[in-house]
Chain A
Amino acid sequence: MKNTLRQIAHSPKFMIGFCMILLMVLSVFIYPLIVPGNPLEMIGLGTFFRPGTYVSVYDSVSTDKRYVIKLSDAAEKRLASKLAPEDREVMKTWLLAFGLPEESIDLENTEELLQLWRNTYDPELRFDNMTTAVRKHVQRTDAKLDSLLTDTDIIIASETDGTLTQSGAVGANDYVNVSEIANVRVLPLGTDNFGRDVLKEMISALGTSLLIGLIAGTIATVFGLALGLLAGYVGGIVDDIIMFVTNLFTVIPSFVLLILISFSISQTQRGTVTVAVVIGLTSWVWTTRSVRAQVVSLRNRDHVNLSKLSGHSLPRILVADILPYIASYVIMAFILQISSGILAEAQLSMLGLGPRTTTTPTLGLMMYWAMLYTAHINGAWWAYFPIVVLIACVSFSLNLMNTGLDQVFNPQLRG
């Protein structure tokens, strides 16, 4: 036993997989301590905020500690962020439509361009050959121009009884130190369509998914193991009946079965555990078949016959004399069952048939909502891509563990 464990510990594949899983399990427990709060809390008003650091404007403006930093390229950067090349192009389009000669428009010389624009632009004018989309783009650009090229302070005022009182001013060279701002929220993976912190939700969902995988894997393995042991060892009519049922289930694709069962359970009762149980109950088949095959080969070994002659009971023979020989295989099967359980939940949820819980996030549900709000078309990658990667990682690490164990236990692979 000790030797086996040592061998396992020396299997790089197993250890890498194991460390990955361990890391994920740890993060499930530790991350909520770092960022506390309800993972389903809708913090953002609006959909799909980009990943980044969000600094409270209110706090930044009202902070006492303000620093003056003079950077030579500040004005240029500010201009670039407000007046993109597309905006300049659209200004040119308007000026051309207005009838100005092309050579009089210099897009590079911002000051001149703005001067020209101020002298020419009339929001009331409509040109026949200009589409609404372009005209509206021009209007939006024009609105942005007001604050450009001015280095006057922005006045902050507070309102009491309809009168404004100046309470401060913000200059173009004023800076704040982010660490001194009371409210800064880092959203490493942005928010989803409900305005929830994706990273926080995802790690919480990972916990749920691992739990589902564990329950589903345990059920499938226990169920499959028990039936496989019985069928293989007892044989005869018992074997026939069990294998008949097993073969029946083998020819029905288990995912179809899973969909049908999930669909027939009323949605309100479809909690995390229920779904895990359903997944477990539809994926025991191949465990049964493989266990049975192994047991058949063990059935007539000498030590088993001896045990039988000694009058040991059926359960004892199964547990004490047969199970130890197939334990390594069962553990490997168990690991794969966990992996497929997690995948099955994700697939079910994406079809809208997963756990319907308002209180618990799951990876599949996150994908479901991302898809419903077309995150994959909007370019809101943070709402689905990390989840895809995470599911792949879970699956990959479990499979890696399985391969590692296989190399230890399988005499054919043992080098």
Chain B
Amino acid sequence: MKRWIWRAASAVVSGLMLFSAAACGNNQQAANKAASSAPAVESQEATVEPTASSEPAATSEAAESAAPEPTGVIAELPRNETLYFGGQQWDSVKGWNPYSSNNNNALAVAGNASARLVMFETLYMYNLLDGSLNPLLASGQPEWNAERTELTVKMNPDAKWNDGTPVTAEDVAYTYASHLKYETAAGVSFGDFIDTIEAPDASTVVLKAKLIDGNAVNSYQLEDYICRQYVIQKAWTETLEARASSPDAFKDDPAEDVVSCGPYKKYYADDQKVVFIRDDNYWGVALWGSLPAPKYLAHAMYVDNAAQKVAFTNGDIDVNQQFISDIQNLWLQDGLPISAYMDEPPYGICVTMPSAWYNLKSPGLDQVVIRKAIAIAVDYDAINQNAMTGQSPTFAQTPRSLMNPTEGEQSMYDHDAVADLQWVGNDIDGANKLLDDAGIVDTDGDGIREFNGQNLEYNACCPEGWSDWQAAMEIVAAAGQKIGINIETNFPTWEIYQTVFTDGDQTEYDIFMYAGDGTGPTYPWRRVRERLSSEFIGQKNNWVGNFGGYSNARADEIIGAIPLETDPDTLKALYTEAVKIYLEEVPSFALMYRPELFHAVNESVWTGFPEAGDGDNIPPTDCTDGYGIAALYNLKLVS
């Protein structure tokens, strides 16, 4: 009874809040957009065993025969044949062009190391759980030559485009050539590392690295390419080239006629919903042993996170990519058929490290002692419990370093060697002492310390509507107040935020948040580069890292040396040294660990989703990314 009263009260107040909720919606959408576009996972070989219970549900077969021809769009999707997603797609789809980075088509095109494999496919599927590369359009494991400058991949002879023609090595080669020719985002980012991709015969692909002194500039990038970049049909690319008058037209084409090879094709999309329909002639039956269980994949568009959460708890969304504070209450208190990948905190696999970056151009922040004082004064337990509501390993469990909490990365540096450099957080006395000893004190009695005669006053920024980040910044600001550094939070909209913090010359934000990428074959090297490399200083439109302009010659040497090193011990020593620099100099500091994709499922209709310890080794990547797509073959209807 009591509960009902409060439910009713909540409804009334929700109404009152609607106005402002609508106003915040856009930001949250942007937040989610960014979250979903963040890349992630790595891949390796694949013992793609067709998982046990992968036959489509009987009911769906029955319904299938009664369903209209695929050409006609049915008004109401049969619920027991449709898997609904949440938290990936905001606003209507702009296009289907895998060469474009402006499709706003989250379920179809997403360029992560764990690529989204619903519609398009990559050579390998990355599995973030073990870092394995599982062959998809490829067959067997990729092979390096002795010098690690050429990577050879054999094509899967079964692979077919959905027009029935085979997927060949020539398609792979032509895809990369087109990326380079038209300077797509992929072309630009891989152009520095991969010289060419060649097809000596129809079933063999050779990726040739760019060389420096006879060595590959960065061999990790080649492994990254084969699990990140979709293979696009050569014939269709030529059609696109024929109608595109300029490189921009090539990239801006909405590509309604695109030929793909994934298990799903586009069905329809409008401003309410985007729907994919299973390709019942999908070549992958040979690989997986069956078709994926749901006939339709659908994603409705919600006005904001709150609306989406309600839809999820009501069972209108099956798989949800959304940060839900205190998610455990959904099953512990509300008794809903909802579960996350793990039953206990942190509930998911955390692979990214949202960090506070210092702008070294801000007065005082070029001083290590001030950077460190703020970092050790921050209450990380409060961030973990209050901002992330426990959905992150603590720094006591996973000490801070340049590695994410996965076992593979953790084993790459010497924990003991840097143990003395760790800090526990909320160490107000320690921070005060550090500043006092350095002579940075409050001389004019206003409660704020001065450096070079100037009060230490900073803003702490992150995008509006990213609730856990905002709360983290509030906690950083509170820490500043306690040690005589005036930190005020500032939450601009994502649209503004992203233009400022990516500008290497900006002086607007002093302390600001960004997560960077998560996992992939290039990690943790890539994270070392993101945190420490001086190559990004002063860069405009820098989305990779070192946003604050930190520079350290030794760190640059290490970043250059790691990709060329093959001896595990030396590699470990190099990584350890990088971690040491990171902890000593604090150019940025991690505030929490976070999953790349939030993965929560509602088992009102479907069951059989991946969960920790189920032995399937399927990563919790929303049943769509990298090897996580395998989950679609395991789904069953709830009886």
Q: Hey, which bits of chain A sit against chain B, CB under 8 A? A: 40, 42, 44-48, 86, 128-129, 131-134, 136-137, 139-140, 193-195, 266-268, 347, 350-352, 356-359, 367-369, 371-374, 376-379, 381, 384-385, 388
Contact = CB atoms under 8 A, between A and B. Distances in A.
Contacts of A195: 382, 385-386
Contact of B478 (A193, A351, A358, A369): A358
Contacts of A266: 490
Given A132-B607, A140-B343, A358 B331 contact: no
B639 A129 contact: yes
B396 interface: no
A48 B490 CA distance: 24
Contacts of B490: 266-268, 356
B262 interface: no
B478 A132 contact: no
For the complex of A and B, list the 8 residue pairs with the smallest distance between their C-beta atoms, beginning with the closest.
A350-B20, A131-B603, A133-B337, A45-B385, A358-B477, A267-B490, A372-B467, A131-B607
A376 B390 CA distance: 20
Among B53, B337, B465, chain A packs the most CB atoms within 10 A around the CB of B337
A48 to B, nearest CB: 7
Interface string B559-578: 00000000000000000000
A333 B417 CA distance: 70
Contacts of A267: 459, 488, 490-492
Given A194-B386, A358-B474, 14 more contacts: A45-B382, A47-B385, A47-B386, A131-B638, A139-B343, A195-B382, A195-B385, A267-B459, A352-B465, A356-B491, A374-B309, A377-B306, A379-B7, A388-B13
30 contacts: A45-B381, A47-B325, A86-B335, A128-B53, A131-B607, A134-B337, A136-B343, A140-B343, A195-B382, A267-B492, A268-B488, A268-B490, A350-B20, A351-B24, A352-B465, A356-B490, A357-B488, A358-B474, A358-B489, A371-B24, A372-B470, A373-B325, A374-B305, A376-B10, A377-B310, A378-B325, A379-B3, A379-B7, A381-B10, A388-B16
Contact of B20 (A45, A132, A139, A371): A371
Contacts of A40: 478
Contacts of A368: 20
Nearest to A358: B477
Contacts of A379: 3, 6-7, 10, 333
A352 B491 contact: yes
Interface in B353-395: 379, 381-382, 385-386, 389-390
Interface string B342-355: 01000000000000
Contact of A46 (B306, B310, B389): B389
Contacts of B390: 46
Interface residues of B, number: 64
A193 B326 CA distance: 10
Given A40-B478, A47-B385, A377 B309 contact: yes
B38 interface: no
Contacts of B9: 381, 385
Contacts of A359: 481
A128 B55 CA distance: 14
Contacts of B53: 128
B382 A374 contact: no
Nearest to A40: B478
Contact of B331 (A47, A136, A385): A136
A345 B603 CA distance: 43
B541 interface: no
Contacts of A44: 386
Given A194-B474, A195-B385, A377-B309, A352 B10 contact: no
Interface string B463-478: 0110100110011011
A385 B13 contact: yes
Contacts, number: 142
Interface of B: 3, 6-7, 9-10, 13-14, 16-17, 20-21, 23-24, 53, 305-306, 309-310, 313, 324-326, 329, 331-333, 335-339, 343, 379, 381-382, 385-386, 389-390, 459, 464-465, 467, 470-471, 474-475, 477-478, 481, 487-492, 601, 603, 607, 609, 611, 636, 638-639
A341 to B, nearest CB: 18
Nearest to A133: B337
B478 A42 contact: yes
Contacts of B21: 371
Nearest to A369: B471
Contacts of A48: 326
A371 B10 CA distance: 11
Nearest to B379: A42
Contacts of B331: 133, 136-137
Contact of A194 (B14, B336, B339, B471): B471
A351 B382 contact: no
B338 A133 contact: yes
Contacts of A352: 23-24, 464-465, 491
Nearest to B461: A267
Contacts of B324: 374
Given A267-B490, A377-B310, A384-B13, A42 B339 contact: no
A358 to B, nearest CB: 4
Contacts of A46: 385-386, 389-390
Contact of A42 (B313, B333, B386, B492): B386
Q: Which residue, of A44, A129, A359, A373, has the highest number of chain B Cβ atoms within 10 A? A: A373
Contacts of B475: 42, 194
Contacts of B489: 356, 358
B441 to A, nearest CB: 21
Nearest to A44: B386
A376 B14 contact: yes
A356 B607 contact: no
Nearest to A382: B6
Contacts of A351: 20, 23-24
A44 B488 CA distance: 22
Contacts of B310: 377
Contacts of A381: 6, 9-10
Most buried by A among B17, B465, B639: B17
Nearest to B6: A381
B137 to A, nearest CB: 31
A133 B329 CA distance: 13
Contacts of A374: 305-306, 309, 324-325
B282 to A, nearest CB: 25
A129, A193, A384 pick with most chain B CB within 10 angstroms: A193
Given A42-B386, A129-B639, A373 B467 contact: yes
A136 B53 CA distance: 20
A367 to B, nearest CB: 8
A384 B477 CA distance: 23
Contacts of A367: 17
A335 to B, nearest CB: 24
A255 to B, nearest CB: 10
B329 A378 contact: yes
A192 to B, nearest CB: 9
A140 B305 CA distance: 29
Nearest to A381: B6
Given A47-B389, A132-B611, A378 B326 contact: yes
B291 to A, nearest CB: 20
B472 to A, nearest CB: 11
Nearest to B508: A266
Nearest to A139: B343
Nearest to B381: A45
A351 B24 CA distance: 7
B329 A132 contact: no
B491 A47 contact: no
A257 to B, nearest CB: 16
Residue picked from A40, A42, A136, A137, most chain B C-beta under 10 Å: A42
